[in-house]
C-alpha cells in the first residue's frame, strides 16, 4: 500500500454545509499503486456561493462534469499544479474525478503528464471518440458513486493491461526515492541514485512532468507535512515542521501561502 497519500483542503477543513460535499474513495487493491483516490464534488447552489480550494498534490486527474450537456466536453484532464487555486462555485455542479500518482498517470492517459500543462485539455483530445463513450457511461452511472467507481476500475484495469506507453523506469525510480524520502531528497542525491548527471535528471522531470525535480520534491514534502499534521492533535507543530525540513517559521509560512493560500494557523487552528 502507498505511504504517500496526498490531501486536499476539504479533508483537512471539514465544512458543515449541506449544500456542498467533497468526498474521496480508495481504489481497489489492484489499482492502489496507480490511483491515489476517486473523488466527488457536489454543490447544489442553495446558498449564494462556495469557495472550493485545490492545492498541489503531485497528481494528475481525469475529471468528469456530470452536469455537462456535451459528452465530448464533459471529461477533462488536469496535470500537476505548482500553486493553489480556488473555484468560486455559484451554480449547481457535480464532478467525479480519478486522481493518479504523477509517475503512473501516463500508463492510462497515454501521454506524459507534461502534455497536460498550460490550460484545459479535454479527454477527447487524447482518447478520441473513446472519451465520449466513457463520459456517457459515467454520466449514466452518476446516480451511484459506487457504480461510477466500478466503471472506472473496469476501464482502468483494461487500459493497464493493454498499455502501449513506454515505461519511463528511471523516472519511476526517482519518484520512489522522493516518496520514501518524504520529498527531502536533493537533485544531486537523485542523480547519484540513478547514475545520471543532475542536468539529465532535470531534463527527465521536465519532459515527463513539466516540472523541475526540486519543485515536485517541495510539493511532496509539503503534502507529507499535511499528512502528519492531519493525524491528530498529539503533536508539537514546530517539531513536526522541523522533521519535514522547515527550519524556520518564515519559510514554513511562505510555503503554506504558496501551496495552500492560507497560513498554518488558519488551517490548523
Share above pLDDT 70 across residues of the chain, in percent, rounded to a whole number: 95
61-81 CB burial, b ≥16 within 10 A, e <16: bbbbbbebeebebbbbbbbbb
Chain position carrying cell 518564515:
250
133 with 218, same domain?
A: no
Q: What is the CATH number of the domain that holds 247?
A: 1.10.10.60
Tell me the pLDDT tens digit for each residue of 134-166.
Answer: 999 999 999 999 999 999 999 999 999 886 566
CB atoms within 10 A of CB 18: 9
68 with 152, same domain?
A: yes
Note the maximum CA span of the chain.
57
Phi and psi for 107 in degrees, rounded to 5?
-60, -35
Output the pLDDT for position 127: 93
CA 243 from centre of chain: 24
The yes-or-no verdict on residue 118 having pLDDT over 90 is no
Q: How confident is the model at residue 235 (pLDDT cuts 50, 70, 90)?
A: low
Kindly state whether residue 4 falls inside one of the protein's structural domains.
Answer: no
- Cβ-Cβ contacts under 8 Å for 116 (sequence gap 6 or more): 60, 77, 78, 79, 80, 109, 210
Tell me the pLDDT tens digit for each residue of 1-22.
Answer: 678 999 999 998 877 778 899 9
The yes-or-no verdict on residue 249 having pLDDT over 70 is yes
**What is the average pLDDT value for the chain, to the nearest integer?**
91
Domain count along the chain: 2
Output the pLDDT for position 216: 97
Amino acid at each position: 500500500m502507498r505511504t504517500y497519500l496526498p490531501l486536499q483542503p476539504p479533508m483537512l477543513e471539514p465544512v458543515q454545509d449541506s449544500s456542498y460535499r467533497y468526498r474521496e474513495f480508495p481504489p481497489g487493491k489492484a489499482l492502489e499503486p496507480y490511483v491515489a483516490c476517486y473523488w466527488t464534488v457536489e454543490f447544489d447552489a442553495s446558498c449564494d456561493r462556495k469557495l472550493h480550494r485545490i492545492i498541489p498534490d503531485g497528481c494528475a486527474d481525469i475529471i468528469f462534469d456530470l452536469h455537462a450537456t456535451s459528452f465530448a466536453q464533459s471529461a477533462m484532464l488536469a496535470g500537476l499544479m505548482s500553486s493553489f487555486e480556488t473555484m468560486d462555485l455559484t451554480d449547481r455542479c457535480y464532478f467525479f474525478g480519478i486522481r493518479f500518482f504523477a509517475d503512473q498517470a501516463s500508463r492510462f492517459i497515454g501521454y506524459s503528464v507534461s502534455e497536460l500543462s498550460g490550460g484545459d485539455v479535454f479527454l477527447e483530445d487524447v482518447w478520441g471518440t473513446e472519451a465520449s463513450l466513457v463520459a456517457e457511461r459515467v454520466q449514466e452511472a452518476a446516480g451511484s458513486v459506487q457504480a461510477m467507481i466500478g466503471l472506472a476500475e473496469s476501464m482502468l484495469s483494461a487500459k493497464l493491461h493493454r498499455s502501449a506507453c513506454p515505461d519511463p523506469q528511471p523516472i519511476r525510480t526517482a519518484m520512489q526515492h522522493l516518496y520514501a524520502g518524504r520529498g527531502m531528497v536533493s537533485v544531486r542525491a537523485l542523480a547519484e541514485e540513478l547514475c545520471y548527471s543532475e542536468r539529465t535528471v532535470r531534463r527527465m522531470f521536465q519532459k515527463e512532468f513539466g516540472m523541475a525535480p526540486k519543485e515536485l520534491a517541495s510539493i511532496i514534502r509539503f503534502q507529507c507535512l499535511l499528512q502528519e499534521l492531519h493525524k491528530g492533535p498529539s503533536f508539537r507543530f514546530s517539531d513536526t515542521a522541523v522533521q519535514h525540513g522547515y527550519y524556520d517559521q518564515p519559510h514554513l509560512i511562505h510555503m503554506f501561502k504558496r501551496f495552500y493560500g492560507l497560513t498554518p494557523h488558519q488551517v490548523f487552528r
